Structure 1
Amino acid sequence: MQRTILEALHSGEIIIGDGAMGTTLLKLGLVPGTPSELWNLQHPEEIARIHRDYIAAGAQFITTNTLNCNRPQMREAGLLDSRLELLRAGVEVARTAAADQAWVGASVGSTGQLLEPYGDMTVDEIEADFREQVEALEASGVDFIKFETHQDIEEASAGVRMAKRYTKLPVWCTLSFDLRGRTLMGVRAADAARRLQEEGADIVGANCGEGPAAIEAALRAMRPETDLPLAAQSNAGIPHLGEGGVTEWDVAPEELAVAARGFLELGARILAGCCGTNPAFIRAMADVASRYRLE
């Protein structure tokens, strides 16, 4: 990709991203509770196939399978010393699969820890963790840093600061909201948009959460507060156990496509999928985006 994702956005394009990785791997046999990042080394061909399927469905960027490559989560999994190897492998698989047909975004998730005074983790510790990740991701060849599924604005802000300070890459950040437009930590979408822009984020938005309606609520609150490009990355609704104990989701590709049209009306310029989505969802949203461009 010769242009950066920011150049494409600033020229007025609507960008289509990929969909779920973790829930897709669970269907392929990933043992629940096992870090999906292990598959970057153990089953790279499966990770690459998922990436390629999303590109074939219309994704203009794919996201590395590196969401949880932070110290606390890797330590808990007994993989602390392997975290950067898993991270680099995730980038390598994505970079190869992209083959200059798509941008590669680096997924950086939450540590799952509470910052002081509510928890034991200090700001210095979390900044050091994020710095280590973003520097390794840039060195491995990603096109932008993608903080996602965050709940705590202080943690998310620390990540954005480190990425802006220690890399030259575009940085985006999305948090997960409920139907009221708040995260589990009580962060309001409007406040998040303002704070993240102040920290230097290039793109802000919402991902995962309580389905398309929650994404809509967050975008509606964010749009008046920022002039940054907005990203809408909905999951496939709320999961439930179906027949035979199989996890099912309550939003179909056609339904998310209808919601995606609403996201665009609210100012979103990036459409992608989160938990429970697959290439069919991306194809449906890409179709909506192409028709929206022509209107």
Structure 2
Amino acid sequence: MSSPDISTNPLSELLAKKGVLLADGATGTNLFAMGLESGEAPELWNEDAPEKIVKLHQDFVDAGSDIILTNSFGGTRHRLKLHHAQDRAFALNKRAAEIARQVADNAGRPVIVAGSVGPTGELLVPLGALTYEDAVDAFVEQIEGLKAGGADVAWIETMSAPDEIRAAAEAAAKCGMPYTYTGSFDTAGKTMMGLHPKDIHNVTNEMEQAPLAVGANCGVGASDILASLLDMKEANPDGTIIVKGNCGIPEFRGSEIHYSGTPPLMAEYVRLAMDAGATIIGGCCGTSCDHLRAMREAIDTHQKTEKPSLDDIREKIGPLRNKTAGDGTEAPKRERRGRRRA
């Protein structure tokens, strides 16, 4: 299996060909529907129930996704240690990429395998005990596994701390992998560690290898991620920007989380994202294949128009759940999220 070529990588080539790419939907939401138990590590299914991971990827491809993310979000040794699987990090990530690679190669059209790299769950020094060097080392272990399994790109996602983004990006560079990264702007319009959407482009400025794309994922809702997109695009009009927003607003019904987004709403989110300048658009928590099919049709049929305003977003998608990053008002309290994107 050939190693990805950073200078002529498949992601950039497909983006140049198609203009706008559809990423996939929710990993956790869909695996829970297949029987994953709360607190169970999805990464263990790469070895214990690979047929379910094949089905997840195949369903996304059948719904029209151009990019599928490997089942490896919690694939660092730090996350896997919670399940006594820290010594299996390389193998589990390799298997995750192999499964996605198999589905992509059988798709009959170009499909990008993005190696999902989520946060370690640890705080870096001085706020916590994890050193920058140890974080890089853990991400190298994970990304080497993803590369060995055939991933096209390291897809660093749901990040909050700039230092952790840099550590993962440095690991990707050490592994000879192209990379993207996204932050989760879920706290008063910024990440939990205070990163502003307009500053997302600058996190890896001092690194020799630049990202292929940057952006936002997860967060609190479709309206909010579109507001973040406006800030990101204004800060760098020429940047290649990813948005992978949650399917509407999360709502607790008893002990379960449900998402308010319908397929028509997610199609409207896609149209607004295209108008605002995003070129890689997908869904995060709550996004099913029904949503993705509507999103695929929106990408294929929408003619880009003028950039939307916040009022346009509120009118078509609904109110912002958070304040925007530049707003001085108090933000509503958000629910405490679990260990991973759902």
Change (3 A) 1:285 1:65: same
- Is residue 27 of structure 1 aligned with residue 33 of structure 2? yes
- Which one of the candidate residues 237, 242, 251 is aligned to 1:240? 251
State how many pairs are aligned: 293
Structure 1 equivalent of residue 228 of structure 2? 218
Q: Which runs of 5+ in 2 are unaligned?
A: 1-7, 306-342
Alignment of 1:1-295 (within 5 A): 4-11=10-17, 13-101=19-107, 102-167=111-176, 169-178=177-186, 180-196=188-204, 198-199=206-207, 200-226=210-236, 227-242=238-253, 245-292=255-302
8 Å CA contact retained: 1:64, 1:106: yes
User: Counterpart amino acid of 1:66?
Assistant: S
- Cα deviation, residue 36, structure 1: 0.6
User: Counterpart amino acid of 2:268?
Assistant: V
- Cα deviation, residue 180, structure 1: 4.4
Q: Which has the higher helix share?
A: 1
Alignment partners' CA distance in 2, 1:212 and 1:177: 12
Alignment partners' CA distance in 1, 2:291 and 2:205: 29
8 Å CA contact retained: 2:101, 2:149: no
Change (3 A) 1:176 1:77: same
Alignment partners' CA distance in 2, 1:281 and 1:179: 26
TM-score under structure 1 normalisation?
0.93
User: Counterpart amino acid of 1:62?
Assistant: I
- Cα deviation, residue 286, structure 1: 1.0
8 Å CA contact retained: 1:9, 1:229: no
- The alignment's C-alpha RMSD in Å is 2.0
Deviations 1:191-222 (A, max 9, x none): 12222455421100100001112211211111
- Cα deviation, residue 148, structure 1: 0.5
TM-score under structure 2 normalisation?
0.81
Q: 3-state SS of the aligned residue for 1:282?
A: helix
Q: Which runs of 5+ in 1 are unaligned?
A: none
Deviations 1:238-258 (A, max 9, x none): 33333x754321111211211
8 Å CA contact retained: 1:131, 1:166: yes
Alignment partners' CA distance in 2, 1:103 and 1:162: 20
Alignment partners' CA distance in 1, 2:298 and 2:47: 36
8 Å CA contact retained: 1:253, 1:280: yes
Change (3 A) 1:53 1:121: same
Runs of 4+ in 1 over 6 A off after TM superposition: none
Identity across matched positions, percent: 34
8 Å CA contact retained: 1:64, 1:105: yes
Q: 3-state SS of the aligned residue for 1:174?
A: strand
